[in-house]
Homo-oligomer: A and B are copies of this chain.
């Protein structure tokens, strides 16, 4: 049904529409591309493409615009990820290289991504559940209050204050600290539940209630319900083409961006690193994001530590954006592995 030329026409339509933001007609298509046929022929092809649902006209007597389905076909079969230029690669390297800690890495990454793609960038902190424990510190605040500080191999630091059922000496705390670290240091956080299960049994009876209190805080808040965090940048980029690309206002988009839950679903559901995912328009199951697209990837060495990517209007330079997201994801993976 769709011969090569029709596909070529679709590609041309997508490319032209992305760059001009105007419905593209048969005449301008043959002018701007070497298709070797007349406008009338293109019109026939366009009618076929419209029949199949790849393109649509905003109104009669207007040019054609790609539909969700059209963009999807374009991304899947008509384009390839566009590698970054050498200058861009070097810029990424030097910009991310200067980071001093995890917060800094994440914030630099998100700003970089926003600047490279001219879209809204989102970066998830390395997921706690996929990190391992570097160190677990217990700090005595008072007789009956202890600060639990968990540090992961990716540099995340999580802390909670625990109110103890009974006073605890510095020595007993020291002992607990040793026991905890012996159990979990270097281990995956997801293993922690089983590893720590029998910990209270080892300590002397008087300390046991305190050990349990601390343990339950660690397990509940850090292991069972780990807090996932995301950071974003470049929201101003939405306003650039707002009137053109978003039906009424950009309000619903901004609202969606404020909901961590939504962002986590869009960018956090990654399992393997390296793969670039693209979600287009209606494929995104969120009301306010029906006219946006999301390009996301996991970062990390083999298993993904977290997700990152960008969100922008459907009318987006997919090859370029995918290239930028891929490149940034790779560098971030590297950097986190080193640090």
Report which A residues bind B (CB closer than 8 A).
100-101, 134-135, 137, 139, 141, 147, 149, 151, 155, 157, 159-161, 221, 233-236, 238-240, 242-243, 249-252, 254-255, 257-258, 339
Question: Chain B contacts of A242 at CB under 8 A?
Answer: 249, 251
Q: Which of B236, B254, B255 contacts A258 (CB 8 A)?
A: B236
Let me know if A137 and B159 touch, CB within 8 A.
no
Contact, CB under 8 Å: A251 / B258 = no
- Which B residues touch A149, using CB under 8 A? 137, 149, 151, 157
Contacts of A155 in B (CB 8 A): 159
Q: Check B255–A221 contact: CB distance below 8 A.
A: no
Within the complex, which residue of B160, B221, B251 is in contact with A236, where a contact is CB–CB below 8 Å?
Answer: B251
Pair B134/A137 contact, Cβ less than 8 Å: no
Can you list 30 A-B contacts with CB-CB less than 8 angstroms, sorted by A residue number? A100-B160, A100-B221, A101-B159, A101-B160, A101-B161, A134-B147, A135-B139, A135-B147, A137-B137, A137-B139, A147-B151, A149-B151, A155-B159, A157-B159, A161-B339, A234-B258, A235-B254, A235-B258, A236-B251, A236-B252, A236-B254, A236-B255, A236-B258, A238-B254, A239-B249, A239-B250, A239-B254, A242-B249, A242-B251, A243-B249
A48 CB, nearest partner CB in chain B, Å: 39
Residues in B with CB closer than 8 Å to A141 are 134
Tell whether, in the assembled complex, residue B258 and residue A239 are in contact, meaning their CB atoms are under 8 Å apart: no
By Cβ-Cβ distance, the 10 closest A-B pairs, closest first, are A239-B251, A236-B254, A236-B255, A135-B139, A239-B249, A157-B157, A235-B254, A239-B250, A137-B137, A236-B251
List of B residues within 8 angstroms of A100 by Cβ: 160, 221
Given contacts A233-B258, A235-B235, A236-B252, 15 further A-B contacts (CB under 8 A): A100-B160, A101-B159, A101-B160, A139-B151, A149-B157, A151-B159, A155-B159, A161-B339, A236-B251, A236-B255, A239-B249, A239-B251, A239-B254, A240-B251, A242-B251
Q: Which residue of B lies closest to A238 (CB)?
A: B254
What distance in Å separates the Cβ of A152 from its nearest Cβ neighbour in chain B? 11
Residues of B within 8 A of A221 (CB): 100
Chain B residues within an 8 Å CB radius of A252: 236
Residues of the B chain whose Cβ atoms lie less than 8 Å from the Cβ of A257: 235-236
Roughly how many angstroms separate A239 CA and B253 CA in the complex, as a whole number? 10
Q: How far is the CA of A233 from the CA of B240 in the complex (A)?
A: 20
* Closest residue of B by beta carbon distance from A242: B249
- State A257–B236 Cα separation when bound (angstroms): 9
With CB as the reference atom, state the residue of chain B lying closest to A249. Answer: B239
CA distance A239 to B250 in the complex (A): 7
Q: Which residue of B lies closest to A236 (CB)?
A: B254
Q: Shortest Cβ distance from A78 into chain B, in angstroms? A: 32
A220 to B74, CA, bound (A): 51
- Closest Cβ of chain B to A125, distance in Å, is 11
CA distance A339 to B145 in the complex (A): 11
Which of chain B's residues has its CB closest to A158's CB? B101
Q: Whole-angstrom distance between the alpha carbons of A242 and B253 in the complex?
A: 14
